[in-house]
Chain A
Amino acid sequence: MRVTKKTKEATRKRILQEARKLFSKKGFDAATTRDLASAADIAAGTLFNYFPSKEAIVLALSRHALDQSQKNFQAMREECETLAETLFAHVSAGLRSLKPFRPYLYPALGWALSPALRGDAVPDAEAIRVDHLEVVEGVLQDYGILDVAGPVALHLYWTLFTGVVAFWAQDDSPHQEDSRALLDHSMAMFARELSTKGDL
């Protein structure tokens, strides 16, 4: 039987929905790919046609959540007064949307959000990176410093961002307040780096 694009999309969506429920219920480690396939009503082998691993499922969930967070960020963006604050608001909006996945985000981060990751090895991870940096470029453009920033600065930014996300995923301070301090620190440091380069 030929699987249509529409059916494929529906199956993928169902897997993500069931995975989210199962991870919350059983925990990331305890939920097996067999459990996931069964919950999504597909054969165990079929699951791998969609996602190569459980980590890839987490990344797909994260990507979807981060896409949703853009609306919140755009609403908050208006009220930001500095570059550092705007970047802070952007990442904060993302972290808020990722919060439901925080308990099982860390295992997926190690390899998927690596600054060394390139190409389509993990499509969702690459998409997260590209989409996120596209917004950052837009912010820098708004502040008229995109030319000053350049690829090295964006790489530096991505390193800071992934560091903050990794810290946040394991942050046991009350309401992850230490992560907010780290994020604030990181974004201010990045903005300062650009201001010294561009003499802003």
Chain B
Amino acid sequence: MTLSFSDTLADDPAFEAKVKEIFSTLESRPLPLGSFHRLMSLGGLNANLFVHYTSNWFRGFFQNREAREKSLADTHIHCALKVLERMGYLRGVVMKLGQTMAHCPEVVPQEWARVLSRLQWEAPPMHYSLVREQLVSELGDEPENIFADFDRKAFAAASLGQVHRARLKTGEEVAVKIQYPGIASTIQTDLRNIQTLSTPLRFTAGWRAVMGMYQDLREVMEQETDYVLEAARQTEAGELFKDHPHLRVAKVFPEFSTARILTSELLPGVHMDDFLAQGPPQEKRDHFGGLMFEAMLRLMYQKRWIYADANAGNYLLAEDGSLGLIDFGNVRPFSDDEWAYYRETDKAMVRGDFEGMVEAARKGLRPGMNSELNADQEDWFHRWTDWSTRPMCQEGVFDFGMAFWREGIELFAQSLRIRIVEAIPMVIHLTRAVMTGRALTARLESRFDAQACHRKILKDVGLAEA
């Protein structure tokens, strides 16, 4: 059956019914763990999407412009629903990819972004009996003996876990993040699949770079399954922001946390979609955009961390103006060499030395690629350096709205066309952090003085140059 959807998906009953049906089906489908099963599932999805878009292309020959546009929009939604279903089913790395796509407006068709954004908080839940077993095996007792109250229904789900509200016997309201059993194995499986699917690239010039990225992704994803590590980072970040007037990090309760359970203080606030739905004034948009930017920079300069996964689900925007950071699973620390490289670009930026910035940034390309850039790639590299550093180079209030974001997306898309994607892994994480962070400030249509923020942080950490 071909579904037809209205232009505004939010109120479309056919769309809502279909999303509901997908999640209801997913609830009864546990996580597939086998390597072959997961590989086939991804392969089948590609074939399915190909068929849908090809049929739409053929149909277009017999339609007028208006019908063609409607048909393409329907195909986008139809395919996005397929992707939603498959990503919700496979979870792990695959769902992570879906969440990232959903928060990058214009990287994927708008219809895709809207459908995939459902992955954020409507992922299929574990049933309570499974949650109970996870808690008993990890914390050693029944939830009712550990907590004063434990909400049987999850209030949030993400790629690796789901979160339940609870109250400790000492009275604190907490969020208990529980990891899906076996998810660590599925990540290994997904990464093996990605490696298998990348095999045709073996004979291309970019193979070494692909393998470098693969190794790095593996390390980062393995770390993300380790809630002990996440709890330690969350605690460190909490220490960093403890005196900040607006940045909040949920306090970790180590006695109720393990490698698979993370119990943190329940922070107040709403996620970005709910915040935007209230039609907030520009002042508030600027305030929260500025805080997201500041948090990312402070983590970078004061902890030497790249907060690599700045997706909307990781922030809570509170009525009192505070911004809660609630997920430290995807943090990539700089090595000393990487930090030295980053600081070289940074110093040139503060000096206002654009050519110095370009030269320093070139060191982030795959070794050897520096001297091989053709004219298009050189031109692109200059424009990318300009775009990525512009907010910190421009004096006064900077407009992070959609026009700026679109420019970045066009450059990003162009980088794929002219094949200038072979960078060292740290640059990939930094680019991801910049892109996902700017996707958020674009959605907020924020305007704030990024240069002043950057310079203040440099001064705070003693890195400001005379």
Contacts and interface: CB of A to CB of B under 8 A. Distances in A.
Interface residues of B, number: 24
B181 A88 contact: no
Contact of A80 (B29, B33, B129, B136): B129
B380 to A, nearest CB: 45
A79 B130 CA distance: 12
B185 interface: yes
Given A84-B127, A184-B30, A188-B29, A178 B137 contact: no
Given A173-B185, A174-B259, A181 B128 contact: no
A181 B260 contact: no
A82 B181 CA distance: 19
Interface string A68-94: 000000001001111011101100100
Interface in B168-222: 180-182, 185
Interface residues of A, number: 26
Contacts of B136: 96
Contacts of A191: 28
Contacts of B181: 177-178, 180-181, 184
Contact of A188 (B30, B128, B138, B185): B30
B134 interface: yes
B185 A184 contact: no
B189 to A, nearest CB: 12
Q: Could you tell me the dominant secondary structure of chain A's interface residues?
A: helix
B130 A185 contact: no
Nearest to A83: B28
Nearest to B259: A174
Interface string A120-146: 000000000000000000000000000
Contact of B182 (A85, A86, A181): A181
Nearest to B134: A180
A2 to B, nearest CB: 48
Q: Could you tell me the dominant secondary structure of chain B's interface residues?
A: loop
B4 to A, nearest CB: 28
B137 A181 contact: no
A76 B132 CA distance: 10
Given A79-B152, A82-B28, A174-B259, A180 B128 contact: no
Contacts of A192: 28
A181 B126 CA distance: 10
Contacts of A81: 127-128
Interface string B1-39: 000000000000000000000000000111111000000
A175 interface: yes
Interface string A96-109: 10000000000000
Contact of B129 (A92, A173, A178, A181): A92
B129 A89 contact: yes
Contacts of B152: 79
Contacts of B126: 184
Given A88-B127, A177-B137, 7 more contacts: A80-B129, A84-B28, A175-B260, A180-B181, A181-B181, A182-B33, A185-B33
10 closest A-B pairs by beta carbon, nearest first, are A181-B182, A177-B181, A175-B137, A180-B181, A89-B129, A85-B127, A185-B30, A181-B181, A184-B30, A188-B30
28 contacts: A76-B132, A79-B128, A80-B128, A82-B28, A84-B28, A84-B127, A85-B127, A85-B129, A85-B130, A88-B127, A88-B129, A89-B129, A92-B129, A173-B182, A174-B259, A174-B260, A175-B138, A176-B137, A177-B134, A177-B137, A178-B181, A180-B133, A181-B33, A182-B33, A182-B182, A185-B30, A185-B32, A185-B33
